[in-house]
Amino acid sequence: MNKDKVRNARLLFLALGGLVILSSSFRSSSQDPAPDKKAGQSFAPALDWRPTHAPAGARYAGSQACAQCHTQAATQLTTPMAMTLEAAKEGRILREHTRLTFKIGAYSYSITREGEGSVYSVTDGRETISTPILWAFGLGKAGQTYVFQLDGKYYESRVSFYNDMRGLDLTLGAPRTEPRSLTEAAGHLLDGADARDCFSCHATAAVVEGRLRTDKLTPGISCEGCHGPGADHVSAMKARDFANKRILNPGRFDANGQTEFCGACHRTWTQVMLMPPQGMGNVRFQPYRIFRSRCYDFEDRRISCSACHNPHEETRRDQAFYDSKCLACHQTAARVCKVGKRNCAECHMPKYELPGAHFKFTDHRIRIVKAGEAYPD
């Protein structure tokens, strides 16, 4: 069976029979201790599984405990993942911009710094909603969105900060029409599932046994956000129980296992298929896009997420680094390419700017790009 037929068979399984896998639950190694798995391990979590969820009885050690043995724990703290959520009082962007304003139709917005916090306000000229910002979502590389509470419920701000314009615009996905009410103008109500998903993918241990507990979370994705609660691991290592490390190591998953793992937050093929049509909007979902690449291989770790991106370090910017990753598979192609011998990603992974996003996203659907082609969904 050739590679395309194998791929199509796997897609058919995911589409028709994969619900069996999706309905199963994955227990982290802290719940179900097992010997460290060999490289190439497959992984198929439930659709609602997130690596950051705290299982029953979870005991966290903190990144400082990880750093006692793992030098990468220090560099991980400077990564975008580690800083993807901030309390408003600590937010760098909010501290640097003491007053931000925006207007759409009859509604005027402001975010002002007051003391150690920031206040989010919207008014129609007659009535005003004014409330403290609780959380800043996003590092600000592209933008930053804010979460506040009204009547005890979480809301996503209708306006966000965008780095390229150093100011506010409508949050990506928010209707660009004039709001019908002041509450609608304030933001989008995050129901229970929405709130859990938002905090799950921007914080560690925000969801405890299925319940959102913002009083328990660690802002950002820490070491234990991907590897699971670490106190049992620390105890096992101190006891020299190397056969039962009691920690999850996603770096040992095969290519598809890593796609599923990272896709728990960055969106897998299955998750995107269950969403409304996204069009170019799905360029933000890198695991889905790389899965759609013709060169994607379920087992080959040279096409896995961690082959190009070290989650413990800042994202690499030098093209030569990514050229070396391409050459790990495409040595012959590099010799015969008529376009160029360097900067492979610039041609085969083009960037797209989403309307309203004020940012260009790298398309992880690796392909030969044809001039004038429409965005390939």
**For the residues 48-65, what does the mean pLDDT come to?**
95
Print burial letters for 286-308: b (CB count within 10 Å at least 16), e (below 16). Answer: bbbbbbbbeebbbebbebbbbeb
The answer to whether position 337 is within a domain reads yes
The pLDDT of residue 319 is above 50 = yes
In this structure, are 134 and 193 located in the same domain?
yes
**For the residues 217-234, what does the mean pLDDT come to?**
97
The answer to whether position 74 is within a domain reads no
What are the backbone angles phi and psi of residue 333, rounded to the nearest 5°? -60, -35
Structural domain including 350 reads: 3-49+249-362
pLDDT reported for residue 23 = 35
* Domain end position, chosen among 155, 174, 197: 197
The pLDDT of residue 2 is above 60 = no
The answer to whether position 243 is within a domain reads no
pLDDT reported for residue 173 = 92
In this structure, are 98 and 185 located in the same domain?
yes
pLDDT reported for residue 27 = 38
The answer to whether position 24 is within a domain reads yes
Between the alpha carbon of residue 96 and those of residues 99, 112, 113, 135, 245, the distances in Å are 9, 11, 9, 16, 43
The answer to whether position 180 is within a domain reads yes
Question: pTM to 2 decimals?
Answer: 0.89
* CA–CA separation, 175 and 95 (whole Å): 28
* CA–CA separation, 3 and 95 (whole Å): 53
In this structure, are 272 and 326 located in the same domain?
yes
Instruction: Report percent pLDDT > 70 for the chain.
Output: 89
pLDDT reported for residue 340 = 82
pLDDT reported for residue 8 = 53
* Domain end position, chosen among 161, 181, 197: 197
pLDDT in tens, 103-117: 999 999 999 999 999
In this structure, are 256 and 347 located in the same domain?
yes
Please answer whether residues 162 and 168 qualify as being in contact, where contact means their C-beta atoms are separated by less than 8 angstroms: yes
The pLDDT of residue 24 is above 60 = no
In this structure, are 45 and 119 located in the same domain?
no
What is the tally of structural domains in the chain? Answer: 2
pLDDT band at 35 (very low <50, low <70, confident <90, very high): very low
Average model confidence (pLDDT) across the chain: 90
The answer to whether position 112 is within a domain reads yes
Which string of DSSP letters, residue by residue, matches 111-147? EEEETTEEEEEEE-SS-EEEEE--EEES-SSSEEEEE
Q: Residue for token digits 């705290």? A: 54
pLDDT reported for residue 159 = 98
Name the pairing type of β-strands 360-362 and 143-150: unpaired
The pLDDT of residue 309 is above 60 = yes
Instruction: Report percent pLDDT > 90 for the chain.
Output: 83
Phi-psi region of 356 (alpha: psi -120 to 50; beta: other; left: phi over 0): left
pLDDT reported for residue 139 = 87
pLDDT reported for residue 189 = 97
Which of residues 36 and 248 earns the better pLDDT score?
Answer: 248
pLDDT band at 3 (very low <50, low <70, confident <90, very high): low
In this structure, are 131 and 43 located in the same domain?
no
Cα angle 252-84-198, degrees, rounded to a multiple of 5: 90
pLDDT in tens, 84-98: 999 999 999 999 999
The answer to whether position 207 is within a domain reads no
In this structure, are 293 and 349 located in the same domain?
yes
In this structure, are 161 and 253 located in the same domain?
no
The answer to whether position 68 is within a domain reads no
Closest CA to 228 of 42, 32, 15: 32
